[in-house]
Amino acid sequence: MRPILLHNFKLCLCQEIMSYSVHVLHDGYSRMEDGMMKANCTCTLVKGPNNLIVDTMTAWDKEKIISGLQSYGITCDEINYAIGTHGHSDHLGNLNLFTNAKHVVGFTVSHRDNFFIHPFETGEAFKIDESVEVIPTPGHTSNDVSVVVKTQHLTTVIAGDLFEREEDITDPSLWKYVAGSENAELQEKHRNKVLLLADYIIPGHGPMFKVTKGMKEAAKASSITVK
């Protein structure tokens, strides 16, 4: 939630990405409480030549987002891309704050009343620049996407609900049943793809986590992979 110079990464939840930096504005959560699900998504700022906000929380979180951006010297009007990793309401509640931005919601790319054709369904990434792209990672829903931020040494993937939180690596029931999956086999394929790609993952409902060697080895050994 605050920038770092590569120290105390887990506390600061930010990493320098060449000319980009990635900042978790708010950690998401999900839990059963009094017989209902209580949840909100992780909201992330990617700051650089193109400013992105990924997953804008619920409609009741406007001030949290505005103040979070202000803490990094960014206004809503300075966001170039507003991205919803999928169409659930806790990920889209404040897209209307970003009227200067191009919107990417799942497989849909738009600005005002203009809708741009992009073949996410064929597996093609939506490239923002050499360091940032939006890739299709369906499974949780049929049109989930993830944001990949690359540097020479590190890759961070903002994965939405492809991963519920770090604990779902060892407890698959969290992403299959608690979060819900429209297509568990397809989701597992894209989970393995992202585990092999990423050094750090920002999940949909929990803090950023480091992808360990063991996680990568398990993904590589899995028979469920994206071809």
pLDDT digits (tens, 9 = 90+) for 116-134: 999 999 999 999 999 999 9
Hey, what amino acid is at 73? G
Vertex 127: Cα angle to 156 and 28 (nearest 5): 40
d(CA 198, CA 148): 8
Query: What pLDDT is stored for residue 36 in this prediction?
Result: 87
pLDDT value at 83 more than 50: yes
Quick count: other Cβ atoms within 10 Å of Cβ 119? 10
Half-sphere exposure of 156 (CA within 13 A, CB side): 26
Residues 174-200, mean pLDDT to the nearest whole number: 96
pLDDT band at 11 (very low <50, low <70, confident <90, very high): very low
More confident residue, 143 or 7: 143
Query: What pLDDT is stored for residue 13 in this prediction?
Result: 46
d(CA 164, CA 174): 7
Question: Which domains, and CATH codes, for the chain?
Answer: 9-221 (3.60.15.10)
Do residues 30 and 41 make contact, with C-beta atoms less than 8 angstroms apart?
Answer: no
Token duo for residue 15: 């990493």
Residues 51-58, mean pLDDT to the nearest whole number: 98
d(CA 116, CA 181): 27
Least confident among 15-24, 31-40, 58-67, 154-163:
15-24
pLDDT band at 185 (very low <50, low <70, confident <90, very high): very high
pLDDT value at 80 more than 60: yes
Least confident among 79-88, 143-152, 183-192:
143-152
d(CA 163, CA 140): 9
pLDDT band at 5 (very low <50, low <70, confident <90, very high): very low
Residues 41-62, mean pLDDT to the nearest whole number: 97
Quick count: other Cβ atoms within 10 Å of Cβ 64? 17
d(CA 104, CA 132): 13
Query: What pLDDT is stored for residue 37 in this prediction?
Result: 85
Hey, what amino acid is at 60? W
pLDDT band at 59 (very low <50, low <70, confident <90, very high): very high
Residues 16-26, mean pLDDT to the nearest whole number: 82
Query: What pLDDT is stored for residue 6 in this prediction?
Result: 36
DSSP state of 180: T
Query: What pLDDT is stored for residue 148 in this prediction?
Result: 98
Query: What pLDDT is stored for residue 227 in this prediction?
Result: 59
Coil, strand or helix: which one is 22?
strand
C-alpha 56 chain-centroid distance: 11
Residues 151-163, mean pLDDT to the nearest whole number: 93
